[in-house]
């Protein structure tokens, strides 16, 4: 059982705070134990993962009972929720019951009158089933064992100098790796306090009085938009950004207002966190650092049919593969997907494109399926071009793609949603902006201004629809 600190003799008052609700460590163990007593079988247990103490209790209780837990987004629609419940084989539902026959068929889970003691659990057994966003079809269930979760968290304890004396604060969803496993389970395993602000608002972050803050770029953008709140975070020792690329200008704004550069890191649902800048090491805008303890990476040529590895020159783009004890055990009942994502000898194909410098620092430059552009003999990741364009004050949103070109093979085209100021002019200013920040061959050859970017129901840009 990877939440070993929960059974420690010393208690911590207000160990878990979610909004206005708080539990000591002893109270959490008691409530989670009573919840576990009401689980009818070996699960899995689906949890309506709202930002609440009840969610923390239910997930902790299932873990203590050795029953796999399936966090379900509270805003999931009937089709998505029904798929997750059917695919996971969940036998019980915890939390508010949404309308729908697929939910009504599940037995209720109610706390027992007497708490049960934590069970001896096979560390290789699936502890958590997290569903991917489903950008290439229906969401897939990634199976994370207790051993994998423990390995991933222990690596972060080391690289972030995370101690039981820390207080972690964030307002991220409790159905993803970032908010749930890192923010809550990481704190419980390490023995530190966690404060969930319910909503990731700057004022709530500032009032948390934490030593470590977790956020995504959208959150950090809101924080720097309220300078007083941002300066209040300067008392913390670590500001962590992940889940999406952090624009360089935002990196500099955070550093300027708080007095410290943020730590950027990289991971996936399937891999936990495999790359991160160190708390006591270099923090470089746009770079996600070095492998965490136990993790390995390799970059393979992005071209079809090519073999070997790419040079560590900080420029050559390669397909990122990772391996280590924190990786998941495969997708539930998806043999074809598993065969496709595993490269053999423990290597997992992330689907991401990256570059690595001579010191081992990594920079993510896009997704292989949509973001690799082959132009003039160069392999270019559109993500790094998008990051530079987003640093321009007149750009609100952007998507960069490759379009067929008789001379270059593909020409780089940027689809831009402006901020309404009209400052970008004809687009030449944006082309020059990229050329001044990146290699000349990475500049867009064309800028197309659009009112909006096409997105799927999950909010992700559908690049294949651009220009159609």
Look up the CATH number of the domain holding residue 90.
3.40.50.12780
Q: What is the mean pLDDT of residues 100-123?
A: 61
Domain identity same for 410 and 320:
no
Q: Which of 100, 92, 52, 35 is nearest to 69 (CA)?
A: 92
> What integer pLDDT is reported at residue 7 of this predicted model?
57
Domain identity same for 342 and 410:
no
> What integer pLDDT is reported at residue 418 of this predicted model?
86
> What integer pLDDT is reported at residue 43 of this predicted model?
82
> What integer pLDDT is reported at residue 441 of this predicted model?
81
**Domain residue limits at 174:** 1-367
Domain identity same for 327 and 448:
no
Q: Which CATH number is 397's domain given? A: 3.30.300.30
Residue 122 has pLDDT above 60, yes or no: yes
Residue 105 has pLDDT above 60, yes or no: no
Confidence of residue 447 (pLDDT cuts 50, 70, 90): very high
- Give the single-character DSSP code of 427: T
Last-in-domain residue among 318, 347, 367: 367
| pLDDT top residue among 42 and 161 | 161
Domain identity same for 447 and 354:
no
> What integer pLDDT is reported at residue 354 of this predicted model?
95
Based on the structure, what is the number of domains in the chain? 2
Last-in-domain residue among 342, 367, 392: 367
Domain identity same for 303 and 230:
yes
Confidence of residue 101 (pLDDT cuts 50, 70, 90): very low
pTM: 0.84
Domain identity same for 380 and 363:
no
Q: Which of 128, 142, 363 is nearest to 265 (CA)?
A: 363
Q: Which of 386, 364, 355, 215 is nearest to 288 (CA)?
A: 364
Residue 145 has pLDDT above 80, yes or no: yes
Domain identity same for 16 and 57:
yes
Last-in-domain residue among 322, 348, 367: 367
Span 340-378, pLDDT tens digits: 999 999 999 999 999 999 999 999 988 887 777 878 767
DSSP states along 210-247: -SEEEE-HHHHHHHHTSHHHHHHGGGSSEEEE-SS---
Domain identity same for 281 and 405:
no
Domain identity same for 382 and 360:
no
Domain identity same for 185 and 148:
yes
* Residues 6+ positions from 227 with CB-CB distance below 8 Å: 257
Domain identity same for 380 and 312:
no
Residue 255, SS3 per DSSP:
helix
Mean pLDDT taken over the chain: 88
Residue 32 has pLDDT above 50, yes or no: yes
Domain identity same for 134 and 176:
yes
* Residues 6+ positions from 68 with CB-CB distance below 8 Å: 43, 44, 45, 62, 125, 126, 127, 128, 129
Q: What is the mean pLDDT of residues 86-108?
A: 70
> What integer pLDDT is reported at residue 83 of this predicted model?
87
| pLDDT top residue among 10 and 333 | 333
> What integer pLDDT is reported at residue 305 of this predicted model?
62
């Amino acid at each position: 059982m990877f939440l070993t600190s929960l059974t420690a003799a010393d208690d911590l008052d207000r160990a878990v705070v979610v909004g206005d609700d708080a539990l000591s460590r002893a109270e959490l163990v008691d409530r989670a134990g009573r919840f576990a007593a009401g689980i009818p079988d070996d699960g899995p247990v689906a949890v309506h993962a709202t930002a609440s103490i009840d969610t923390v209790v239910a997930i902790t209780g299932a873990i203590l009972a050795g029953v796999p837990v399936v966090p379900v987004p509270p805003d999931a629609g009937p089709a998505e929720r029904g798929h997750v419940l059917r695919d996971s084989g969940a036998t019980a539902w915890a939390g508010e019951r949404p309308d729908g026959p697929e939910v009504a068929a599940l037995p209720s889970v109610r706390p027992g009158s007497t708490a049960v003691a934590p069970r001896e659990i096979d560390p290789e057994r699936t502890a958590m089933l997290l569903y991917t966003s489903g950008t290439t079809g229906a969401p897939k269930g990634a199976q994370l064992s207790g051993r994998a979760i423990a390995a991933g968290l222990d690596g972060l304890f080391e690289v972030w100098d995370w101690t039981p004396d820390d207080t972690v604060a964030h307002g991220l969803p409790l159905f993803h790796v970032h908010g749930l496993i890192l923010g809550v389970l990481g704190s419980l395993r390490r023995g530190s306090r966690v404060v969930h602000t319910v909503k990731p608002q700057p004022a709530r972050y500032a009032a948390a009085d934490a030593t470590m803050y977790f956020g995504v770029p959208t959150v950090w953008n809101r924080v720097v938009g309220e300078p007083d709140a941002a300066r209040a975070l300067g008392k913390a020792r670590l500001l962590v950004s992940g889940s999406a690329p952090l624009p360089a200008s935002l990196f500099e704004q955070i550093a300027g207002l708080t007095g410290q550069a943020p730590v950027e890191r990289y991971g996936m649902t399937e891999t936990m966190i495999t790359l991160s800048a160190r708390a006591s090491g270099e923090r470089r805008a746009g770079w996600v650092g070095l492998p965490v303890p136990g993790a390995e990476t390799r970059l393979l040529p992005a071209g079809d049919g090519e073999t070997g590895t790419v040079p560590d020159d900080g420029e050559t783009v390669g397909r990122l593969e990772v391996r280590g004890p924190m990786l998941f055990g495969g997708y539930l009942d998806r043999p074809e997907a598993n065969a496709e994502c595993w490269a053999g000898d423990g290597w997992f194909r992330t689907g991401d494109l990256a570059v690595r410098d001579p010191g081992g620092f990594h920079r993510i430059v896009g997704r292989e399926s949509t973001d690799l552009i082959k132009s003039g003999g160069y392999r270019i990741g559109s993500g790094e071009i998008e990051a530079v364009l987003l640093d321009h004050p007149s750009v609100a949103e952007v998507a960069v793609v490759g379009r067929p070109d008789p001379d270059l093979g593909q020409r780089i085209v940027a689809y831009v949603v402006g901020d309404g100021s009209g400052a970008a002019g004809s687009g030449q200013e944006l082309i020059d902006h990229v050329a001044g920040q990146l290699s000349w061959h990475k500049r867009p050859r064309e800028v197309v201004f659009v009112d909006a970017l096409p997105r799927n129901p999950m909010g992700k840009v559908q690049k294949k629809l651009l220009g159609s």
